[in-house]
Chain A
């Protein structure tokens, strides 16, 4: 483009600066001052803000609830990765490899929960788990398994596992579509070659499909891990609020309770720093273990 340097920089400034200022004020500044707040004892009013060094971090290490919240988060990560990947992979293969006429219908239906609000999903599933009216207990009664019926979300042992199902229910569609994208890029000739070599469908899946969609599988797993560590607290907040007796608190919901319910803002920020560090570390470690080279035939 023919224009003077000055004009170019003016235009650049017009394009970049207003956006960057808002981004800096509403995203970068809060993140960094979150780090800063974690060194203060602070109940919200400016007079009561006291620098206490690493005291919040010492409190964090000694807080008996913290290890549980971390465990709960990783429990959700592991169960969601396994549940979503197995089902999404199964559905993706079924909808691409076996010629099913109504495949687009399944795709549209399975994806829909991905764009539902967590509030709607959470409330819907709270009702499905409802001890007296809920679908789960009614279903168990219908099958003659009354003994298994329980107040799912009110039971300290079962509340956390009960949160996995809604998350899988809501998540599958997106990852199924990502895997379908990978599978439909695989050239048919690989399958023909495998067939000539006498490989059955099961062998074809293990030897052709799976290695060739490894990039999509890797991205899906990373994406599930990141979104769970950064956002699992939303469904927890809607469905159990961290209860019963802290049995479902994850790091984020505990942060919310400490900061915005009990007004320990400094300690809340410390929990936030922990979430940030753990989620970045997890992603790094995962990327290291999954850096299997892309296979090309």
Chain B
């Protein structure tokens, strides 16, 4: 009996750290949303409480005076082109590595996979000059290509494991019917691995939308800034202008798409990230 009393107490006690961590995670995020409705004066007066009124002034200022409209657009372009290009490049390679027998397929797979573990910082210096030579420096399309290639290893890795679950008999009977391998890839493999394609696309999209450091190195002019760079710029300016409200509004703009994707695809994202980490 003594033990079960202890257990009951333990059950209640175990919730305390869980609730505390929930607050630790959610409070800063809520607070960021609340801050985006406050005026700068109010942020100083009452930094951690509820706003007196829900004004959208900060959003308007960020959108019009701080070029957030341009950078949202740039981030969208980089994200969409980046994810699309990743898929176009990764699906055929994943299929060939998984299903077609050729010498060196295992070596090629290992080469792609090992790139996931290599620190890319070293490569960023030569990449900077390479992009300059190709006229792709300070260019969001150049950045989209760099992003796409940077996510290739992860994407190929996830897609090969998805493609391996498709029964071989489907391809074989299609080939019997005279379907070309190109059509098999397009009409059979791609639709059947759609679940994997959606998973990697969401994860790549979040990755590209959030990315900061490569954008910092490869983009210079504010007209080409992605959202992460624009926010970083507002943040360093806010040290002097104290435009905290604008800063919060732009943080909210950056995080809303991620929250929406997470709300819809929570299971997929969690599963994709954990599996990517476990097998990688």
Binding site for B on A (CB under 8 A): 1-3, 7-8, 11-12, 14-16, 18-20, 22-23, 25-27, 29-31, 33-35, 37, 44, 87, 90-91, 94-95, 98, 100, 105-120, 123-128, 133-135, 138, 169, 172, 174, 177-178, 181, 200-201, 216, 219-220, 223, 226, 229-231, 233-234, 237-238, 252, 255-256, 259-260, 265, 268-269, 272-273, 275-276, 279-280, 283
Whether B90 and A117, one on each chain, are in contact in the complex, defined by CB atoms closer than 8 angstroms, is no
On chain B, the residues within 8 Å of A216 by CB distance are: 278
B5 in contact (CB, < 8 A) = no
> Given the complex of chains A and B, what is the CA–CA distance between A30 and B130 in angstroms?
8
Task: Tell me which of B53-61, B143-151, B191-199 binds A.
Answer: B143-151
Q: How many A-B residue pairs have CB under 8 A?
A: 241
Whether B125 and A16, one on each chain, are in contact in the complex, defined by CB atoms closer than 8 angstroms, is no
Whether B232 and A27, one on each chain, are in contact in the complex, defined by CB atoms closer than 8 angstroms, is no
Whether A8 and B100, one on each chain, are in contact in the complex, defined by CB atoms closer than 8 angstroms, is yes
On chain B, the residues within 8 Å of A252 by CB distance are: 119, 121
CB-contact partner of B102 in A12, A118, A125, A272, under 8 A: A12
Q: Nearest chain A CB to B47's CB is how many angstroms away? A: 4
On chain B, the residues within 8 Å of A106 by CB distance are: 18, 21-22
Task: Show 22 A/B contacts (Cβ-Cβ < 8 Å), sorted by A.
Answer: A1-B181, A11-B100, A11-B181, A16-B93, A18-B89, A22-B149, A23-B115, A26-B150, A35-B122, A44-B129, A91-B18, A117-B210, A119-B254, A123-B231, A174-B274, A234-B212, A238-B232, A260-B217, A269-B126, A272-B125, A275-B122, A276-B119
Q: Nearest chain B CB to A220's CB is how many angstroms away? A: 8
Whether A115 and B262, one on each chain, are in contact in the complex, defined by CB atoms closer than 8 angstroms, is yes
Q: Nearest chain B CB to A42's CB is how many angstroms away? A: 9
Say what secondary structure dominates the interface of chain A.
Answer: helix
Whether B130 and A29, one on each chain, are in contact in the complex, defined by CB atoms closer than 8 angstroms, is yes
Whether A31 and B123, one on each chain, are in contact in the complex, defined by CB atoms closer than 8 angstroms, is yes
Say what secondary structure dominates the interface of chain B.
Answer: helix
B84 in contact (CB, < 8 A) = no
- 6 new A-B contacts, CB < 8 A, other than A87-B21, A120-B210, A238-B232, are A11-B182, A22-B89, A22-B148, A115-B269, A118-B210, A119-B235
Whether B212 and A23, one on each chain, are in contact in the complex, defined by CB atoms closer than 8 angstroms, is no
Whether B126 and A116, one on each chain, are in contact in the complex, defined by CB atoms closer than 8 angstroms, is no
CB-contact partner of B25 in A1, A11, A12, A109, under 8 A: A109
Whether B119 and A229, one on each chain, are in contact in the complex, defined by CB atoms closer than 8 angstroms, is yes
Whether A37 and B125, one on each chain, are in contact in the complex, defined by CB atoms closer than 8 angstroms, is yes
Q: Nearest chain A CB to B140's CB is how many angstroms away? A: 16
On chain B, the residues within 8 Å of A220 by CB distance are: 277
Total number of B residues with any Cβ neighbor in A under 8 Å: 85
CB-contact partner of A26 in B47, B145, B255, B258, under 8 A: B145
Whether B93 and A15, one on each chain, are in contact in the complex, defined by CB atoms closer than 8 angstroms, is yes
Q: A25-B130, A120-B231 are in contact. Are A112 and B212 (CB under 8 A)?
A: no
Closest to B181 in A: A11
> Given the complex of chains A and B, what is the CA–CA distance between A126 and B96 in angstroms?
47
